Amino acid sequence: MEERLKQQIRELLRDRNAVLLAHNYMRDEVQEIADLTGDSLGLSIEAAKTEAEVIVFCGVHFMAESAAILSPGKKVLLPRLDAGCPMADMVTSEALTALKTQHPGVPVVTYVNSSAVVKAASDICCTSANAVKVVNSLPDKEIIFVPDRNLGRFVAAKSDKTFHYWDGYCPTHERLRPEAVQQLKAAYPDALFVCHPECNPAVVALADHACSTSGMYEWCRKSSAKRFIIGTEAGILYKLRLDNPDKEFILASPALVCPNMKLTSLEDIRDALLTMKPVVSVPEEVRIPAKQALDRMLAIPRD
């Protein structure tokens, strides 16, 4: 039954001239049939380069918005419109504007895990992979960092700037406690612990390496270690195990499952392609300033 469903999806993708994107945290079977898997912004950038007329984004709402921002000529489908991001919902453009008035002239650096309207109210965006570089590229001595306080503190440790943090966080990463990591490190003394900087600073302090999900793939692949404790959402294990069959990957906690990332099913993808909805779009008055914040980030030279 599942194989027939996958075949139906692939046929619909071809008929609709559509590209299927799956975030690294999606269900295994969704990642398996995707045309592209990866980090949220990276997927939107790659999708914009394709000849596809339709983008089917298996992720959460802000990710589909990012695809719409970068591909205004394409139709963006989000198979589950109720797949949201609690961290992104912790900040509104109105509240951010109010904070900006308290710190006049201080630039706003906004993590891409945010809504389009918040991006539009920001000066520049960042990802978990480039946040340190983005912040340190700014000439200003102070910054407002939105919305993830944990990523903000991770960046602040590598910067000499004064930070004004938004008090947002990822509930899934926040559930990982240092005690759980310490127990696993004691049980597997040969294992390296790698985590996402969205984790609590006390957890990051225990890590052999902290990085984005794409960074984890590369770091674990290049490492000579054979066992790893993984401190991010469980969906990442699919590709880690696929790419490294000779290595063992242990999830740092059974709590590392994002319910929003697990909403999208194969049936949802099929139905979205059959009905060509739900559609996610961004009004031009929001899209243009949001894209400017993204473009400023993308203009920073890579290493």
pLDDT higher than threshold 90 for residue 154: yes
pLDDT score at 1: 80
CA dihedral 80, 83, 292, 164 (to 10 degrees): 180
**Cβ proximity of 64 and 265 under 8 Å:** no
Antiparallel, parallel or unpaired: β 248-251 and 209-210: unpaired
* For the chain, percent of residues with pLDDT exceeding 90: 98
**Domain 176-251, CATH number (from 2.170.270.10, 3.40.50.2000, 3.30.420.40, 3.40.50.10800):** 3.40.50.10800
CATH superfamily entry for domain 2-83+261-281: NadA-like (3.40.50.10800)
**Cβ proximity of 107 and 99 under 8 Å:** no
Query: What span, in angstroms and rounded, lies between the C-alpha atoms of 301 and 303?
Result: 7
Cite the DSSP H helix spans in 175-258.
178-187, 201-204, 213-222, 237-243
Phi-psi region of 9 (alpha: psi -120 to 50; beta: other; left: phi over 0): alpha
- Domain edges within the chain: 2-83+261-281, 87-169+286-298, 176-251
**Interval 195-208: pLDDT, tens:** 999 999 999 999 99
Q: Which residues pair with 55 in a beta bridge?
A: 19, 76
pTM equals 0.95
**Interval 14-48: pLDDT, tens:** 999 999 999 999 999 999 999 999 998 999 999 99
Are domains 2-83+261-281 and 176-251 of this chain identical in fold?
Answer: yes
**Mean pLDDT calculated for residue range 141-170:** 97
Can you say whether the dihedral through the CA atoms of 262, 175, 254, 236 is positive or negative?
Answer: positive
pLDDT higher than threshold 70 for residue 224: yes
Which CATH number describes the domain made up of 87-169+286-298?
3.40.50.10800
Local structure of residue 246 (DSSP, 8 states): T
Backbone phi, psi, residue 33, to 5°? -100, 0
Q: In the structure, what pLDDT confidence band is assigned to residue 303 with cuts at 50, 70 and 90?
A: low
User: ∠ CA(30), CA(151), CA(162), 5° rounding?
Assistant: 155
Q: Give the H or E element holding residue 58.
A: strand 54-58
